[in-house]
Amino acid sequence: MPSLNGGTVWVTGAGSGIGRTCAIAFAAAGGKIALTGRRVAPLEETARIIRESGGTAFVVPADVADAETVRAAHAKLVAALGDPLVLVNSAGGNVRRRHWANLESMGVSQVVDLDLKAMFYCTLAVLPAMRARRDGRIVHIGSQAGVSLQTLTGPSYSAAKTAVLAMSASLNAEEGINGIRSICLSPGEVETPILDTRPSPPSQADRALMLRPEDVAEVALFCACLPQRACVSELILLPTDDRLVRHAARAIEALVAAAEM
């Protein structure tokens, strides 16, 4: 089991999905967890799970899409737990009206603010102390939509997640000399509540073959706990049976079978 030796871990989007499972996994590895999100009740539920397992959790609600709120939340968690050794940028979301035919400017702003700018704000908050310590790990939860064209997610989400990849790469280029590692983890479809915001949510049969939040959390923890000399700068994690290419795979299978008859 990787160990964080009591280091502070700040997890955004910690009330559900990937954020919650990352918080639980990093707590099990010995981290003191600061939990941030917009809704207090889900954060308190995550904190309860961690505390019942003997871990330390501090709830610090915030809208991470607001720079001033992020700064205030960061100050509170530092006072309570100390400067973060690890930041997990997991807060994210999408809008239902997401395609060019029905996309609205307000929806664009909402997605870019949460899926890109919020990651900048939280990263800016933790960098000074990480530089001073000469050690820091920042895990950005990106998306398959950021590394290849995915029409399901819409242009705003795809653009934001593509930019997260570039942001993370620039962090490594500039801050690696200060012992800081930026990890961009890009999962394919994960069975989380965000799927319900899609114009046409996937079926239960499709969801059963998707990644689980626990899969992403396990990989995030592994990457964050490697020796300081090693940085997983980019990692793509896909379902084994990826429904986004399943139709093409079945078509190939049928063509091969027909040719061999």
Q: Kindly report the CA angle at 33 between 16 and 83, in degrees rounded to 5? A: 130
Any bridge partners for residue 9, and if so which?
33, 86
Nearest Cα to Cα of residue 165 among 134, 187, 143, 150: 143
DSSP 61: -
Written as tens digits, the pLDDT of the chain (261 aa) is 678 999 999 999 999 999 999 999 999 999 999 999 999 999 999 999 999 999 999 999 999 999 999 999 999 999 999 999 999 999 999 999 999 999 999 999 999 999 999 999 999 999 999 999 999 999 999 999 999 988 889 999 999 999 999 999 999 999 999 999 999 999 999 999 888 878 889 999 999 999 999 999 999 999 999 999 999 999 999 999 999 899 999 999 999 999 988
Instruction: Please write the tens of the pLDDT for every residue from 102-160.
Output: 999 999 999 999 999 999 999 999 999 999 999 999 999 999 999 998 888 999 999 99
Query: Catalytic residue at 157?
Result: yes
- Asked if residue 193 lies in contact with residue 17, where contact means CB atoms within 8 angstroms, the answer is yes
Nearest Cα to Cα of residue 129 among 85, 72, 193: 85
- Asked if residue 58 lies in contact with residue 31, where contact means CB atoms within 8 angstroms, the answer is no
CA–CA dist 220, 116 (Å, integer): 19
Q: Which entry of 10, 26, 121, 157 is annotated as an active-site residue?
A: 157
Using the Cα atoms of residue 52, residue 37, residue 5 and residue 81 in order, give the sign of their dihedral: negative
Place of tokens 């930041």: 87
State both tokens at 201: 């949510």
**Which domains are assigned to the chain?**
8-259 (3.40.50.720)
Note the residue count of the chain.
261
